[in-house]
C-alpha cells in the first residue's frame, strides 16, 4: 500500500511533520491466583490447559470473584504515578468474539478506572520529560492461540492457561513526540513496576506488552492525524525502532498523497519494519456495559492509606537522594537505580560500613560489581547474593585509606565474587595488607636507603628527583604492594631529618 520510507526523504519529511504518540502498556500483575478465580498463575512451562477452571474457561453459570491483590497493585501504581484513585469503581464487559476469549467478552474497566490522571517524569537525551497518564485499570487476560502444523495440516491450538490472568492496562495521553521519549517512558514504567513489585514486567515473555498509537501532523497544526496502532514490540529497542519507522512511513505516505488508515500494524523484527495486521476497531464496537456479576468496588480510605504507606522509595525520589545525599553523578545514580541488585548492594554496603565513602563505593558497584555480575550466568545482573555488602564496604575502606592498591583491590573483589571468601582473609592470604603496617614499611625503607647511598647523596645535594628512584626501589622490594604516597612521605621525612 505505502512505499517503504526512503532514507533520502526522511529528514525532510520529519522537519515538516510532528509525531503524536500515546502508549498503552499491559502488565501482568504479580498474584498467586488469577483475576476472577482460584487458578494458579504459575503457568510458565505448564502443560497446555492445565491451569483452568469453569470460571476462566467462561463456562455458563459461573460467577467471578475479585482478586484483592490485583486491585491493590493497580491502586499502588496509581499512587506511584500521582494519579487520582477512585473511591468507587466498577467492572464492565468488553464484548468481542475471538477463539482465545471463550466468554465472548473480557471483564475490564471502562467508565471508572481504578486510577486516573497521573503522570510519569523521566530523563531523556533532551532533558527531563513528563507524560500524563490518562488511566490505569484492571482486566483479565485472554488465552493463547498456537498456530502449528499437525499431520500435514495447518491447525490452530488454544491454551487457556493465560485466560483470566490479571492484567493492568496503563494508557497515556498523546503527549509523546519522539520514539526516544516513548522508549524512555516504557523503561521508566517497567522500572516502577519492578520497584513497587506489581509486575516482573519482562517484555520477552509477555509480562509487559507495549502498544503505541502513532500519528503525524504538519508542524503547527493543532488537530491530530489518523492514528495507527503498532504492536508486537518485544524489547525496548524494538519500541524505539518501530515507532521511528512508523513516523517515517506515515510522513513518506502523506507526502506521496496517500491517506493514512486507522489500522493495527505489527513490528517485524527481522525486517525492521511494520506491517498491516488488521483494521482497528473503534471503542463503540465493543459495546461496553456494566458487568452484572460483580458489584461496584469500594475503596475505603483506610485500605488506600495502607497501600500508600507500603510503597517503597520510588525511582525518581531515589535518583535525587543519590545525587544530593551522596554527591553521585546523574549517570551513576541512574545506573544504580535501574539495577535493583546493584542498588541493594550499594545501600547495604553504606549501611554496613560506617564512614565508607559513598562516591567511591558507587564506583565499585557500577564498575567492578556490575562488570562481574553481567558476565556471570543469567547475565541479568542478578548475582547480588555472591557479594556481601559488608565485605564490599570493608574493601572500599581499605582502598580509601590507601591500605591496598586499586589493582590489588580488584583482585580481592574478584576472588570474593567468585568464592565468597571474606575480604580480610583474602588480603591476609595474599599478603596485600602488610604494607599498611608502618613498621614493615619503615624496615623496607631502611633497607633501600642503606643499599642506595648514591641516591641518598644526590637527594641531599639538591636533586629532589632522587626520591622517585628510591620510592621505586621500595615498591620493588615490597612487590608493588606498598602505598606509594605513604612511602614517599616516609622517605622524605627520613632524608630531611637524618642530615
Ligand atoms: Zn480458573
pLDDT tens by residue, 378-409:
434 444 447 999 999 999 998 888 778 777 89
Residue 306 included in any domain: no
* 490 and 346 belong to one structural domain: no
pLDDT at residue number 475: 80
Cα 307 to Cα 300: distance, rounded to the nearest angstrom: 11
Please name the residues in contact with 81: beta carbons below 8 A apart, sequence gap of 6 or more. Answer: 115, 118, 119, 120, 133, 136, 192
Residue 64 included in any domain: yes
| CB neighbour class for 139 (10 Å; exposed up to 12, middle 13-18, buried from 19) | buried
Query: Residue 465 pLDDT > 80, yes or no?
Result: yes
Residues 159-181 pLDDT 10s: 999 999 999 999 999 999 999 99
What CATH number does residue 460 fall under? 1.10.10.410
Residues 333-364 pLDDT 10s: 999 999 988 999 999 999 998 788 999 999 99
Q: Are 81 and 119 in contact (CB under 8 A)?
A: yes
Distance 64 CA to ligand 1 centre (A): 9
CB burial readout 216-236, b (16+ within 10 A) else e: bbeeeeeeebebbbbbbbbeb
* 198 and 284 belong to one structural domain: yes
Residues 256-267 pLDDT 10s: 999 999 999 999
Q: End-to-end CA distance of the chain, in Å?
A: 93
* 280 and 326 belong to one structural domain: no
Q: Are 210 and 15 in contact (CB under 8 A)?
A: no
Residue 136 included in any domain: yes
* 240 and 333 belong to one structural domain: no
* 163 and 231 belong to one structural domain: yes
Distance 102 CA to ligand 1 centre (A): 12
497 in helix, strand or coil? helix
Distance 59 CA to ligand 1 centre (A): 10
* 89 and 194 belong to one structural domain: yes
Query: Residue 488 pLDDT > 90, yes or no?
Result: no
Distance 41 CA to ligand 1 centre (A): 9
Tally of structural domains, the chain: 3
| Final residue of a structural domain among 248, 268, 301 | 301
pLDDT at residue number 8: 44
Query: Residue 33 pLDDT > 90, yes or no?
Result: yes
* 359 and 489 belong to one structural domain: no
Least confident piece of the model among 62-76, 77-91, 99-113, 373-387: 373-387
| Final residue of a structural domain among 379, 402, 434 | 434
pLDDT at residue number 383: 44
Residue 2 included in any domain: no
Going from the C-alpha of 258 to that of each of 1, 10, 252, 253, the distances in angstroms are: 9, 16, 9, 5
Residue 372 included in any domain: yes
Residue 1 included in any domain: no
pLDDT at residue number 363: 94
* 351 and 445 belong to one structural domain: no
pLDDT at residue number 490: 87
* 336 and 294 belong to one structural domain: no
Question: Residues 16-21: what's their mean pLDDT?
Answer: 95
Q: Are 482 and 475 in contact (CB under 8 A)?
A: yes
Residue 96 included in any domain: yes
* 411 and 381 belong to one structural domain: yes
Distance 58 CA to ligand 1 centre (A): 9
CA 305, 139, 269, 239 torsion-angle sign: negative
Q: Where are the beta strands (DSSP E) in 179-314?
A: 208-218, 228-233, 263-268, 273-279, 289-290, 297-298
| Final residue of a structural domain among 275, 301, 327 | 301
Residue 137 included in any domain: yes
* Beta-sheet pairing, 166-172 with 127-140: antiparallel
* 171 and 82 belong to one structural domain: yes
Distance 56 CA to ligand 1 centre (A): 4
pLDDT at residue number 306: 97
* 183 and 73 belong to one structural domain: yes
pLDDT at residue number 15: 82
Least confident piece of the model among 17-21, 402-406, 412-416, 472-476: 402-406
Q: Are 41 and 33 in contact (CB under 8 A)?
A: yes
Q: What is the mean pLDDT of the chain?
A: 90
Radius of gyration from C-alpha coordinates of the chain: 31
Domain that holds residue 410: 313-434
Cell numbers 499437525 correspond to what residue? Answer: 150
Residues 206-257 pLDDT 10s: 999 999 999 999 999 999 999 999 999 999 999 999 999 999 999 999 999 9
Q: How confident is the model at residue 118 (pLDDT cuts 50, 70, 90)?
A: very high
Amino acid at each position: 500500500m505505502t512505499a517503504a520510507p526512503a532514507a533520502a526523504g526522511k529528514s525532510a519529511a520529519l522537519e515538516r511533520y510532528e509525531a503524536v504518540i500515546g502508549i498503552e502498556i499491559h502488565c501482568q500483575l504479580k498474584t498467586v491466583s488469577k483475576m476472577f478465580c482460584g487458578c494458579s498463575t504459575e503457568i510458565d512451562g505448564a502443560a497446555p490447559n492445565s491451569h483452568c477452571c469453569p470460571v476462566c474457561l467462561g463456562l455458563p453459570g459461573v460467577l467471578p470473584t475479585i482478586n484483592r491483590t490485583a486491585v491493590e497493585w493497580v491502586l499502588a501504581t496509581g499512587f506511584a504515578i500521582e494519579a487520582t484513585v477512585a473511591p468507587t469503581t466498577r467492572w464492565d464487559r468488553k464484548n468481542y468474539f475471538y477463539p482465545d476469549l471463550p466468554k465472548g467478552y473480557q471483564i475490564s474497566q471502562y467508565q471508572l478506572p481504578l486510577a486516573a490522571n497521573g503522570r510519569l517524569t523521566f530523563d531523556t537525551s533532551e532533558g527531563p520529560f513528563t507524560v500524563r497518564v490518562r488511566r490505569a485499570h484492571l482486566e483479565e487476560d485472554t488465552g493463547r492461540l498456537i498456530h502449528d502444523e499437525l499431520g500435514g495440516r495447518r491447525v490452530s491450538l488454544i491454551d487457556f492457561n493465560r485466560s483470566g490472568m490479571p492484567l493492568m492496562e496503563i494508557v497515556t495521553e498523546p503527549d509523546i513526540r519522539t520514539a526516544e521519549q516513548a522508549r524512555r517512558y516504557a523503561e521508566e514504567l517497567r522500572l516502577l513496576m519492578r520497584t513497587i513489585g506489581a509486575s516482573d514486567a519482562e517484555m520477552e515473555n509477555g509480562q509487559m506488552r507495549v502498544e503505541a498509537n502513532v500519528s503525524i501532523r504538519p508542524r503547527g497544526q493543532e488537530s491530530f492525524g489518523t492514528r495507527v496502532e503498532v504492536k508486537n514490540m518485544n524489547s525496548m529497542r524494538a519500541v524505539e525502532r518501530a515507532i521511528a519507522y512508523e513516523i517515517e512511513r506515515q510522513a513518506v505516505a502523506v507526502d506521496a498523497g496517500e491517506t493514512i488508515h486507522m489500522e493495527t500494524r505489527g513490528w517485524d523484527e527481522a525486517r525492521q519494519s511494520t506491517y498491516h495486521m488488521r483494521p482497528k476497531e473503534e471503542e463503540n464496537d465493543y459495546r461496553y456495559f456494566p458487568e452484572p456479576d460483580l458489584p461496584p468496588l469500594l475503596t475505603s480510605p483506610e485500605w488506600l492509606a495502607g497501600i500508600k504507606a507500603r510503597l517503597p522509595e520510588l525511582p525518581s525520589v531515589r535518583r535525587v537522594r543519590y545525587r544530593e545525599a551522596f554527591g553521585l553523578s546523574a549517570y551513576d545514580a541512574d545506573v544504580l537505580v535501574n539495577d535493583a541488585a546493584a542498588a541493594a548492594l550499594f545501600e547495604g554496603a553504606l549501611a554496613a560500613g560506617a564512614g565508607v565513602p559513598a562516591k567511591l563505593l558507587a564506583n565499585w558497584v557500577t564498575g567492578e560489581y556490575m562488570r562481574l555480575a553481567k558476565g556471570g550466568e543469567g547475565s541479568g545482573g542478578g548475582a547480588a547474593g555472591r557479594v556481601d555488602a559488608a565485605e564490599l564496604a570493608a574493601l572500599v575502606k581499605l582502598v580509601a585509606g590507601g591500605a591496598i592498591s586499586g589493582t590489588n583491590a580488584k583482585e580481592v573483589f574478584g576472588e570474593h565474587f567468585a568464592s565468597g571468601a571474606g575480604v580480610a582473609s583474602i588480603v591476609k592470604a595474599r599478603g596485600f595488607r602488610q604494607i599498611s603496617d608502618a613498621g614493615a614499611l619503615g624496615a623496607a625503607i631502611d633497607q633501600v636507603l642503606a643499599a642506595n647511598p648514591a641516591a641518598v647523596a644526590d637527594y641531599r645535594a639538591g636533586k629532589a628527583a632522587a626520591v622517585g628512584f628510591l620510592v621505586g626501589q621500595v615498591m620493588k622490594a615490597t612487590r608493588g604492594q606498598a602505598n606509594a604516597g605513604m612511602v614517599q612521605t616516609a622517605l622524605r621525612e627520613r632524608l630531611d631529618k637524618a642530615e
